[in-house]
Chains A and B, each alone.
Chain A
Amino acid sequence: MAPEIRCREVGKLLQTMPKGSGEKIFSRISQHLSECEPCREIHASFTKVESALVARKRQLDDIASRTAIQRAGVPSKTARSTVARKAWLFRPAWASVAAFLAMVAAGSTLFLTTRQPPRQGDSHMSARLTPERPAPIVSSQTIKELAEVVCRHEVALSELPYAPEAVAHEPLFPSSVQKYIEPAGTLRAIAESTIKLTRRHET
């Protein structure tokens, strides 16, 4: 009497079943299959997969027989004649060269369209190579105004970078506000720091 086969062994046998040995294996497990419903289902599924594979093979055989007859002379023709190339753009080497050229063209266009014209008196190269000086934090108009304010509050003219025009000695703020702030000290400090900053930028 044949030893009893368990479900796990049946599953393994079905999975490892080499092609064409279905009947042989079936005879080994038939008794177990007649008693075990889940194993029967697994076996049926495997059989279906096998059948589908065989059907697919038959289909491919049919196509191959039809096509091979039509194309029997192709290899010798291919061997003797030049090759029909694929569309050049789909060849990776050409595609990468094309992409590189496109990037160069785009970069050049961008550079030419966004470039600033060279300043007068500068040569073309110096205009390109000299980095642009950063814009001063405070404009000269503001410095002038500050200087005028400082002058109003008796700052020595020698401390200023230029001689301001004569300004009327009027208070900057209304008198009610003026008394709460310390104009001379604060404004002088602002003016001095601004002048220092401007000089640093200029140097």
Chain B
Amino acid sequence: MPGQQDTQNFADVADAHYRRIFRGALSLTGDRHLAEELVQETFLVALRKYENFTGAASLFTWLYGIMLNKYRDHCRRRRLLSRLGFVRAEDNLVATSNTGTENPSQADRAANRDDNHLLVEAVERLPFKLRTVIAMHYFDDMSLNEIAAILNCRLGTVKSRVFNARKRLYRTLKGKLRNGS
């Protein structure tokens, strides 16, 4: 159990990294509430394991890794519940209604919403590994090297995953997207 000093240190660390970890969770899940839950679970695990943190990787990489594992667990649980019939298949897809932003013109807004929905669906249908790299690279603005460090794999593997993910997205969305801008 962490002591009072550790807890205080950790609280500072958590406050420093919260925003970026939350952003990562949001990129992965696309759902604000789920992202908040994931971040809280992540920081809880991190608090328990904080004394085991050796500093081999950066603190952000370590926290992001924990969050990624939590998200993986969530996906597994979700898939199991879906197979057992407790969750409808369409519930697995992210509800985009609670993540909408304001756009200037109505036509553009409708087109963007449709495109956005299609894209979210297409990303959600990607396998976990490809989905992760797309979210990290495109939505979370991480470099390929950073992704390789977090996923603990080689740079070539990350490149290949990004390539495959883009290819699949292209195949899925070919001719469906309306707004090119």
Please list the residues of chain A having a beta carbon within 8 angstroms of any beta carbon in chain B. Answer: 15-19, 44-49, 51-64, 67-68, 71-76, 78-80, 83, 92
A51 and B18 within 8 A (CB): no
Please list the residues of chain B having a beta carbon within 8 angstroms of any beta carbon in chain A. Answer: 7, 10-12, 14-15, 18-19, 22-23, 26-27, 30, 32, 35-36, 39-40, 43-44, 47, 77, 99-101, 112, 115-116, 118-120, 134, 137-139, 141, 162-163, 166-167, 169-170, 173-175, 177, 179-181
B139 and A49 within 8 A (CB): no
A72 and B18 within 8 A (CB): yes
Closest to B44 in A: A83
The answer for the CA separation of A56 and B167 in the assembled complex, in Å, is 18
Residues of B within 8 A of A63 (CB): 26, 32, 99, 101
A68 and B116 within 8 A (CB): no
Residues of B within 8 A of A49 (CB): 119, 166, 169-170, 173, 177
The answer for the CA separation of A46 and B134 in the assembled complex, in Å, is 15
B116 and A56 within 8 A (CB): yes
Residues of B within 8 A of A16 (CB): 163
Consensus secondary structure, chain A interface: helix
A55 and B115 within 8 A (CB): yes
B40 and A57 within 8 A (CB): no
B115 and A79 within 8 A (CB): no
Residues of A within 8 A of B139 (CB): 53, 56-57, 60
If A44-B180, A51-B179, A79-B7 touch, whether A60 touches B137 (CB-CB below 8 Å) is: no
Residues of A within 8 A of B100 (CB): 59
Given contacts A48-B177, A61-B23, A63-B32, 8 further A-B contacts (CB under 8 A): A15-B170, A17-B166, A45-B175, A53-B134, A55-B112, A59-B116, A60-B23, A79-B14
If A15-B166, A67-B36, A71-B18 touch, whether A45 touches B181 (CB-CB below 8 Å) is: no
Residues of A within 8 A of B112 (CB): 55
